[in-house]
Structure formats: C-alpha cells, structure tokens
Structure 1
C-alpha cells in the first residue's frame, strides 16, 4: 500500500541510517577552520561545478540526454 505500515517503517529506517551516518562522519573527520573551508569551496567545489555544468550542456547539445522531463 502507498501509505501503509511498510512505508512508515522504511522511512524511519532511512532516517535513522542517515542520522547515524551524519553523526559518524562528523565525529570521524576533524573540524576545519573557516579559511580552509573557503579555500576548499573556491578552489575545488566551484571549478568542479562549472565543469559539471559544461559537461551537462555538452550532453544536451550532442543529444545524449534530453532536456527537461
């Protein structure tokens, strides 16, 4: 069923799993300073995002994927 007991159990299981993963990752990795996070964002994440947008546009232009749904 769409909203039966199975979906509630599945939702709770996924919620507990992701909460555990977030807590585990936060406890595992060190806390970074603000300047380190800014450097990571500007020198790593922004260039990766720009390249990803260009790759997606190239895929649309070549007809590998279609636009929209």
Structure 2
C-alpha cells in the first residue's frame, strides 16, 4: 500500500490533479524502460542544451 500511495502522490504532483485509488489502478501510465540493459537508452533524454524536461502541474499527463 505504501508504494501505491507514493505512485499516486507522484501522479497528483506531476499532473496537478486529484488522483484517487481507482483512477490510479486503471491508468495506462507505464514508467518501465523498454529494455533493461546497461547500454539501453534512458526513457528521457536531455534536449540540445543539456536540459531535461520537467513535469508541469496541470500540463503533464500523469494518468
């Protein structure tokens, strides 16, 4: 239950929305990398300036 609470907190913080248990469980959000390997590309890469995208509440989809 603690892990799910942390996941729901992340969803709520990133999206800026209230997230309930049922919505979190039925979400299609996938945070897993496509491949587990030391030479695999990370799921998020920096832009040409070396900056990484940051979540914006109310803009970033999290469900």
Return the structure number with greater relative CO, CA threshold 8 A, min gap 6: 2
Larger of the two Rg values belongs to structure:
1
TM-score > 0.5, shorter chain as reference:
no
